[in-house]
Structure formats: structure tokens, C-alpha cells
């Protein structure tokens, strides 16, 4: 499940309905798809799209998206750092940024017109729609692994428009990972 952090307020949101409500307040759609497909790590893009064909059709109907593809990278992907450098400084797009995370993790930072910058850590099973025009940037987590379905209204509209604000440089791309939250039961010491 996703995790939202608002560094300026020293606040973390970890509860799914609270995350969805907070993001909705910024025009961002967030859903959890619990019926995730059982796909091999080596499954080709076509198999990923096939496994989620029903869901993709629903999203296309809902949001006017016409195409879908799969981004699939690991730490070993040639040119990865150059690819990431296109998206890890503040930018916006002429169309929505829609991602369903199939595997791995990633970190969006959102810079709203009013209010502090916040981070959304996404992981497998998370669907996110960042509306067009939203100022944001994206990083991978330290493990450099993500496989995600991307949906486009018009792929040419997805060119990053950089703000050159420098705001992104004030935030470290820190992910906490699935084990960030300690168990709530009593602490047992050996
Ligand atoms: Fe983007």
C-alpha cells in the first residue's frame, strides 16, 4: 500500500482511506487493486498487459486513455540513470500521469499550488492518477525496481515540461519500504 509523507508538517499518512482522501483533495486519484495477477518477474510487456486487460479497458473507458504500455526497469537496465534524470526534477505534463504498479516501488513528490510538498511512495497494487498540469517529480527507490502499466490519452502530450524551480533539490528521494511500520504488539526482547 502507498505511503504519503508531508515533510514540512512532519506527518505520515499510512491508512488507505486517509491516503485516498488526502490525495483526492489534491485532485489525485488513488486506488488499491487487490486482485493482482501472478506474473513472473521475466514476463514480457505483452503478458502484463494481457493479465490486466480488463482493468485497462475500464480505465480507458473512464479516463479517455487510448494506449497502455509497460515500463519495466531494474538496477541493471542500460541507461537507467539517464532515463530517471528526465523525471526527477520538477515538471508537469499536458496529460494525466497514470500508473498501475505491478512490481517494485517508486516515489512521487507533488508540489501543490498551495500547501507543502508531499511524497507518495507507491508499490505493487497501487493505481495513481496525477492530473495534467500538476507539478511533480519521480524517483525510484534504492532497489531501482519498478514494473508499471502506463496509460496515455496522447503519448505525445506526456513530454515533461520542466519548471526549473529547484524545489526538488530540497527533498531526498527516501523510500521507507514495506517494513517501515513496526508491529503494534508488545515488544519482546531476547
Ligand atoms: Fe511526470
Question: What is the predicted pLDDT for the residue at 158?
Answer: 76
pTM listed for this prediction: 0.90
Mean pLDDT over each residue of the chain, to the nearest integer: 90
Distance from the alpha carbon of residue 86 to the mean position of ligand 1, in angstroms? 9
**pLDDT tens-digit series, residues 125-157:** 999 999 999 999 999 999 999 999 999 988 776
Distance from Cα 183 to the centre of ligand 1, integer Å: 34
Distance CA 119, CA 167 (A): 13
The whole-number pLDDT of residue 180 equals 55
pLDDT at 35 > cutoff 90: no
Ligand 1 centre and the CA of 136: distance in Å?
6
Q: Mean pLDDT throughout 25-44?
A: 91
Residue 183's pLDDT band, with cuts at 50, 70 and 90, is: very low
Q: What is the per-residue pLDDT across 61-96, written as a single tens digit (0 to 9) for each?
A: 998 899 999 999 999 999 999 999 999 999 999 999
C-alpha 162 – ligand 1 centre gap (Å): 10
Ligand 1 centroid to 147 CA: how many Å? 16
- Tell me how far the alpha carbon of residue 137 lies from the centroid of ligand 1, in angstroms: 6
Q: Which residues surround ligand 1, an ion (CB under 5 A)?
A: 97
160-165 contacts at long range (C-beta below 8 A, 24 or more positions apart)? 160/86, 160/87, 160/91, 160/92, 160/93, 161/91, 161/92, 161/93, 161/94, 162/89, 162/90, 162/91, 163/90, 163/91, 163/92, 163/135, 164/89, 164/90, 165/90, 165/111, 165/135
Distance 190 CA to ligand 1 centre (A): 47
CA–CA gap between residue 42 and residue 61 (Å, rounded): 29
pLDDT band at 182 (very low <50, low <70, confident <90, very high): very low
Q: How far is the CA of 138 from the centre of ligand 1 (A)?
A: 7
Amino acid at each position: 500500500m502507498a505511503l504519503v509523507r508531508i515533510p514540512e508538517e512532519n506527518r505520515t499518512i499510512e491508512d488507505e482511506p486517509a491516503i485516498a482522501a488526502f490525495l483526492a483533495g489534491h485532485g489525485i486519484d488513488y486506488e488499491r487493486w487487490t486482485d493482482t495477477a501472478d506474473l513472473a518477474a521475466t514476463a514480457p510487456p505483452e503478458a502484463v498487459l494481457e493479465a490486466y486487460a480488463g482493468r485497462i479497458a475500464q480505465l480507458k473507458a473512464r479516463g479517455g486513455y487510448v494506449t497502455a504500455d509497460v515500463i519495466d526497469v531494474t538496477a541493471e537496465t542500460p541507461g537507467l540513470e539517464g532515463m530517471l534524470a528526465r523525471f526527477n526534477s520538477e515538471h508537469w505534463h499536458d496529460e494525466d500521469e497514470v500508473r498501475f504498479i505491478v512490481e517494485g516501488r517508486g516515489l512521487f513528490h507533488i508540489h501543490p499550488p498551495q500547501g507543502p510538498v508531499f511524497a507518495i511512495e507507491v508499490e505493487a497494487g497501487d493505481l495513481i492518477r496525477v492530473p495534467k498540469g500538476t507539478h511533480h517529480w519521480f524517483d525510484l527507490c534504492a532497489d531501482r525496481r519498478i514494473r508499471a502499466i502506463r496509460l496515455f490519452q496522447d503519448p505525445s502530450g506526456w513530454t515533461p515540461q520542466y519548471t526549473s524551480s529547484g524545489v526538488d533539490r530540497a527533498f531526498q528521494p527516501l523510500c521507507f519500504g514495506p517494513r517501515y511500520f513496526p508491529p503494534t504488539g508488545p515488544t519482546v526482547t531476547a
